[in-house]
Chain A
């Protein structure tokens, strides 16, 4: 594979409550032959709170990081967290599309940002730069019992003018990645429905209600696991699942994995290195169900043989059904 180097902006939550996203993303990228460089002394992107204050101010908090990355000489920064990504894209697009906005933002900074960085989500890098085939080529293990609901959350692909990636109404990138590594995905209608976002602390009942809808729709779609690409979605669905159960009278017990953890499992990486023990709702049964691709092939072969044998000697009730 060609030499690929990216700046990697992990963001604050990946140092804290979403540390397993960081661990698994780094492992998977390493397996795919990518070199990641962390921008030196990066700061918080400002996230949702900053854009309730002022648009220029919010852009400046994000652009401080873009300016650091620009000096690293790497053109692309890959960002796992959709909230950081959206802050970067808004700052970048605003500053490259409007001179006076750029000036106002740079007025707040020590070092100006000149517009030379291309921010992309980690999902986008995997689909566009690495490609589904290469992602699939690394697979050594299968997860035969797993059916995953791919949950994108609200802002990873929206609005289309900012995200400039995938479909704003029916995104498929995560579906495609998971299928490329041999995992079954369910037809999940709530892919984009909001989980309650940053309201967990000040408006917990809202988050519990919205998250409960996402959880129950995932289960209705036939899934026994949800894949996410956002620290906030993960937190609302996993850490708060017990809260959801106690406020809503439900008894959900469905593991919420980062898509990178699932990909890592199919690469045969160690569950510990992928941070699976950091999940609140246990995913142990998923780890235990893991088998090698060879074993999976043998199972499939055995099944085909069984079917053949059954066809050769049709059962009584099948014959009856055909007659009516």
Chain B
């Protein structure tokens, strides 16, 4: 990791915000490394989860929000389960991802795009339309043939539907989306 100049780069408001939104106490972390030792994704992270916690204590907002780690965390809950200080580490990672999304800092575009395709399908039909989600993702990501070789397999087994199943209350589900967006706009 690069050397940090802490006299100029600590964002105190960010530390408070993460603590408040996650309902957690990252300040308790004493860097034992238990979370990182158990994290199945640490190999793919640019900053292992214990380092993210340390960066958070040091108020390093930019470094954290642009890290790949927060988007590659699968919320597997190993870290939370094993933290001796009872910090809900996975919830903090989740909160960091939410803040990054809000500030439009997306280090892993494909991951976000996949989540968005899922949610759009849900908003449109009330339930997830697996095939539609995959196709929307492929179109938008430019990976036109992602998982194409698996298609015939699931098709043959009669496992996927080619058409969405629209629920009666799909507009009620869509309303949850719009109400949330309106509120989010109001609060900035």
Contact = CB atoms under 8 A, between A and B. Distances in A.
Which interface class (under 10, 10 to 19, 20 to 34, 35 or more) fits B? 35 or more
B118 interface: yes
Contacts of A50: 119
Given A52-B97, A64-B172, A194-B40, A12 B127 contact: yes
A55 interface: yes
Nearest to A154: B76
Contacts of A64: 172-173, 176
Interface in A11-50: 12-13, 15-17, 19, 41-44, 46-50
A288 to B, nearest CB: 20
Interface stretch (B6-14, B24-32, B157-165): B157-165
Interface stretch (A116-124, A134-142, A202-210): A202-210
B3 interface: no
Contacts, number: 163
A124 B75 CA distance: 22
Contacts of A79: none
B144 interface: no
Interface stretch (A105-113, A217-225, A250-258, A295-303): A105-113
B105 interface: no
Contact of B172 (A13, A54, A110, A193): A110
Interface stretch (B47-55, B57-65, B145-153): B145-153
A194 B44 contact: no
Contacts of B95: 55
Interface string B93-110: 011011001000000101
Interface stretch (A155-163, A266-274, A313-321): A155-163
Q: Main SS of the interface on chain B?
A: helix
A278 B180 contact: no
A169 B110 CA distance: 32
B130 to A, nearest CB: 5
A57 B176 contact: yes
A61 interface: yes
A52 B72 contact: no
B19 interface: no
B66 interface: no
A225 B41 CA distance: 25
A63 to B, nearest CB: 9
B160 to A, nearest CB: 6
A92 interface: no
A15 B127 contact: yes
Interface string A47-74: 1111111111100110010000000000
A159 B88 contact: yes
Interface in A206-244: 206, 210, 239-240, 243
Given A210-B40, A278-B158, A155 B176 contact: no
A158 B78 contact: yes
A278 B156 CA distance: 9
Contacts of B139: none
A197 interface: yes
Contacts of A19: 158-159
B176 A44 contact: no
B94 A51 contact: yes
Contact of B160 (A17, A54, A202): A17
Given A64-B176, A202-B113, A47 B118 contact: yes
B81 A278 contact: no
B80 interface: yes
B17 interface: no
B74 A197 contact: yes
B184 A54 contact: yes
B176 to A, nearest CB: 5
A198 interface: yes
B172 A154 contact: no
13 contacts: A15-B127, A41-B167, A43-B173, A46-B122, A48-B74, A51-B75, A55-B95, A154-B78, A158-B76, A159-B77, A194-B74, A206-B41, A243-B149
Shortest 9 CB-CB contacts between residues of A and residues of B: A49-B115, A154-B76, A12-B128, A202-B110, A197-B74, A158-B77, A194-B76, A202-B114, A49-B118
